[in-house]
Structure 1
Amino acid sequence: MLRFDPTQYHPLLTLFHRTGAALFPRDWSGEEAWLSPSQDAADQLAERESVTDALNAKRREKLALFDLASTAPEAQERLTQIETEIATLRERLWYLPQSDSTIKGDQAACDRRTRVVRELEEAFEREELSITLGGAFNVQWSAWRCKDDFAINYGLSTVTIPRGESTRRIAPAFVAKAEAEAWLGRFVIGDDAPDLTPKAQCSRWLAAEVARNPASRPTKQDYLIKAKRLFPGLTDRQFNSVWEHVAPPAWKKPGPKA
């Protein structure tokens, strides 16, 4: 019995890449997921080191106060303050570039990477997107986000699961295609991206249609007619490929259509 169908999911890297390509259609290189800052971004690396040092200092202070917290009210109050300070530092650290990636990138490329990470993780926070871990269970974003040992590797499409949440520490990460395509529809660019192929333009347009009308039951033929009118040069075969990857399962079911 099939328990997980990979054909219905995008690896996290695919979602990362397509988000970047949509946000930066002319500048996206495709290597951003693996970028490490070049010397141009040395100031950001220095900031990361400084924030890491501050975070470690707060953690040491927190450990030192644990024994006192049960008997000294002021220690408990300070512990509460430290938790807030740690959360703030972790938030800063999350978006700063790391130096352990495999490709050196200039500041502009690193900025593109940071922008995509922010877009995706804000979507996870708002529950517009969810990460499934090999079909086993979903990332519990609000609960895991603040844990020190939770991490996402977009380049490898993996998630490091916080200790105590699973017997696995690292798991393959996916996003449902229908969910991803609907979300990607917000980045439809249209006439200001004339360098896109008819198929690529059709894919973005159809994703936007899905996002606007996810519960509708349109006919594939109606959309084929519209698409060929909007995107000269689009072939039936190309449209069929777009439909297969972008249209949600509900749109493909037989039966009366809206």
Structure 2
Amino acid sequence: MFPEDWTGREIWSRPVGDPSSLIREREDLSTKLGIAIRRNAEIDALDLSDLAQSTQTEFQSEWHATYTKINELKGKLAKLPNLSDAHISDHVLFTHRREVEGELWEAFSINSMSVVLKNGNGANWNAWSKQTSFKVYYCLSMIKMPPQSEYQFRRSPAFVSIKEFGLWSKRFGGDIHDGEKYSPEHKARLWLKKKVGEHGTKPYAKPFFIDEMISEFGISKRLAERIWPEVVPDSWSTPGPPNPNNKK
């Protein structure tokens, strides 16, 4: 998904400005969940023994339907993006993030891919995802299990088989499972090579290109500085014209 546009910064993205829409979505789901839980509790408290069988069946059917709704709402709450570590406000990046995380969640839910914990056991995704305390931190490759899980630890790194990921990713077309090909570093290298080919002689001073790689591809200054001598010709090592962004 988004092989040509993915920068790697998506995992740290959040809605632009105040993430009120996501907050409202969480509050709305929580309200609906509370109503459903309360209704099931009301039915549980009823003494149905004196009612006709058909009436008992109606209450039982309602209870099961509400129970299913409760699990659906819990899953939707757990699926919402975690913003605790998100620091990049960008609409496009966040839109891509939600779409990719949604596809991954679906893959784990239907066992297209399995999540392996630090002890080598598989995550009980379908059961845990119905608990609002279940958290997935995609940016950290970590999950937080519900307190009632079968393991003593609550947090664990989450691992996925490269083979399973490769097979799953083919459904989106292209070689998107080739992480090296679409890494921010690789994109920065291609961009710089393209600039060298376009200009021949250096059109601007080195800091301009360093800043562009950092802002466009989200790489560190240290990495950009390392890419520079590995890509540009010797003729570009001499001082060039000033950074156009500094012109008034």
- TM-score by length of structure 2 reads 0.58
Letter of the 2:69 counterpart: E
CA contact (8 A) 2:78 2:134 kept: no
CA radius of gyration, larger in: 2
Matched, 1:141 2:111: no
- Kindly indicate whether the alpha-carbon contact (under 8 Å) linking 2:78 and 2:130 is maintained by their aligned counterparts in 1: no
Structure 2: runs of 5 or more not aligned:
183-248
Separation of aligned partners in 1, 2:34 and 2:77 = 12
Aligned to 1:175: 160
| Aligned-residue RMSD, C-alpha | 3.1
Cα offset, 1:127, TM superposition: 1.9
Distance (Å, rounded) in 1 between the aligned partners of 2:139 and 2:39: 35
Aligned 1:36-115 pairs, distance under 5 A? 36-39=14-17, 42-68=20-46, 71=49, 73=56, 75-115=59-99
Give the number of equivalent residue pairs.
173
Say if 2:14 and 2:91, in contact at 8 Å, map to a contact too.
no
Distance 1:55 1:101, change over 3 A: farther
Cα distance change of structure 1 residues 168 and 68 upon mapping to structure 2, 3 Å threshold: farther
Structure 2: which amino acid aligns with 1:58?
A
Contact 1:95 1:114 in 2 (8 A): no
Query: Letter of the aligned partner of 1:176 in structure 2?
Result: S
CA contact (8 A) 2:137 2:143 kept: yes
Is the 8 Å Cα contact of residues 37 and 105 (structure 1) preserved in structure 2? yes
Q: In the alignment, is the contact (CA less than 8 A) between 1:134 and 1:172 conserved in 2?
A: yes
Q: Point out where structure 1 has 5 or more consecutive residues left out of the alignment.
A: 1-22, 202-258
Tell me the amino acid that sits aligned with residue 180 of structure 1.
Answer: F
Name segments (4+ residues, structure 1) moved above 6 Å: none
1:165 aligns with 2:150: yes
> TM-score, normalising length from structure 1?
0.56
- Separation (CA, whole Å) in 1 of partners of 2:152 and 2:48: 32
1:119 to 103, 107, 117: 103
Asked if the contact 2:75–2:132 (Cα under 8 Å) also holds between the matched residues in 1, the reply is no
